[in-house]
Structure 1
Amino acid sequence: MAKEIERKFLVRSDGWRSAVETKSALRQGYIASMDDRSVRVRILDGRKARLTIKIGRSTITRDEFEYDIPIAEAKELLQNAIGIVIEKTRYRVPYEGFVWEVDVFAGEHRGLVIAEVEMRSETDNPALPRWLGREVTGDFRYSNQALATEYERDRHGLSHSA
């Protein structure tokens, strides 16, 4: 079992773009969604698929289990996703010893840009790039789970500004 330890921020400028290392197109949806756990299916660049189970209530750390699955099965699972299928491009941006993942959303959440940094421990203190906006770690509204499963219910209550 792996631990996911991350902080999340809105992005206020394009200052990160010049440092992009890689990018991937993601489509993801949730097969199960509860307060303290979720089951997600994700297709990466149309070529690889993963099933991810996340468990935990902590704002920074959760248990995470990931499994490669056949693309055909992932596509079928996405057809049965709860809410909407999230479309985004993920950019990997190294910054002072940490790798930030900047997600630029398309589709229903076009205009939303969120950066996450995964840490090795909760005591890590990554330097914060100037292009970051407000921290939204622990704000469930900005979790991919909420963006997918609660979109219809709270369509206009989410601010996409940093």
Structure 2
Amino acid sequence: MSDTGYGDFEFERRFFVEHVPTELLEASPTLIVQSYLLAQDGFAVRVRAQATGVAGVDPALDELALLEAHVGAVDFCAITVKGPMVEGTRYEAERELDPLVAVELVRRAPARVAKLRHSAWLGTDGWVIDVFAGGNAPLVVAEVERGGPVTDLVVPAFCTTEVTVDARFANDGLAVRPFGGWAARWAQELATAGPRFLTGLGHNHLAGQDGPG
């Protein structure tokens, strides 16, 4: 949720990552397990439980097993209402929840996502790198968020292609249709179409490349 005068809106851009630099992976990242009470047509109601600084996470476990393995370390929970993504802008209203209530909601809702979140400061932007577990392994998505539209972005070299407006890569989309089931088709699609980046948000400065983005 933005606190810079835009109200309940978030401004972000998201990128599929084939090979994440190991130096950007933290030894003790944040474990996030979230369930969706609603996930349809870009609208979503999400309940998130997260544990900061967790080591020794087994990404082969399913989402619920990951939650149960680290439930004692959960230190923040929230419920979030989201609208559809429009060119890097999405309505998002988030409110903190009591962990005892939130964990029970995550346990009961049928559509879940689990990921390890790593944070890094690259240039003038803060980035998060989400390494998905369970049914969405081995997906890795890098995300940058600002208090206003993410324009004139310096895109790190490890960002393979942009997926900001690809609903398949939204977390609510991944909860319903996990990446593990269509990873091979995505690899073929990417090889055929090549990388793509949004062109309506200023100039994309592609790290290590010359010319317009």
Q: TM-score, normalised by structure 2?
A: 0.67
RMSD of aligned residue pairs (Cα, Å):
2.2
Structure 1 unmatched ranges of 5 or more: none
- Give CA-to-partner distance per residue, 1:4-43, whole Å, 9 cap, x none: 111110112232x424578311001111123142110001
The aligned counterpart of 2:95 is 67
Moved more, 53-62 or 35-44: 53-62
The aligned counterpart of 2:181 is 156
Say if 2:156 is the partner of 1:129: yes
Is the CA contact 1:19–1:94 (under 8 Å) kept in the aligned structure 2?
no
CA distance in 1, matches of 2:30, 2:108: 23
Shift of 1:128: 0.9
Say if 2:35 is the partner of 1:32: no
Structure scoring higher RCO (CA < 8 A, sep ≥ 6) equals 1
Say if 2:23 is the partner of 1:18: yes
Is the CA contact 1:32–1:82 (under 8 Å) kept in the aligned structure 2?
no
Is the CA contact 1:31–1:80 (under 8 Å) kept in the aligned structure 2?
no
Larger helix share, 1 or 2: 2
For residues 38-77 of structure 1, the aligned pairs below 5 Å read 38-45=44-51, 46-77=74-105
CA distance in 1, matches of 2:24, 2:114: 22
Matched residues, percent identical? 29
Q: CA 1:90/1:123 → structure 2, altered by over 3 Å: closer, same or farther? A: closer
The aligned counterpart of 2:169 is 142
Structure 2 unmatched ranges of 5 or more: 1-6, 52-73, 191-213
Is the CA contact 1:136–1:142 (under 8 Å) kept in the aligned structure 2?
yes
Q: TM-score, normalised by structure 1?
A: 0.86
Q: Per the alignment, in what secondary structure is the counterpart of residue 29 of structure 1?
A: strand
CA distance in 2, matches of 1:30, 1:59: 23
Which protein is bigger by CA-based radius of gyration? 2
Larger strand share, 1 or 2: 1
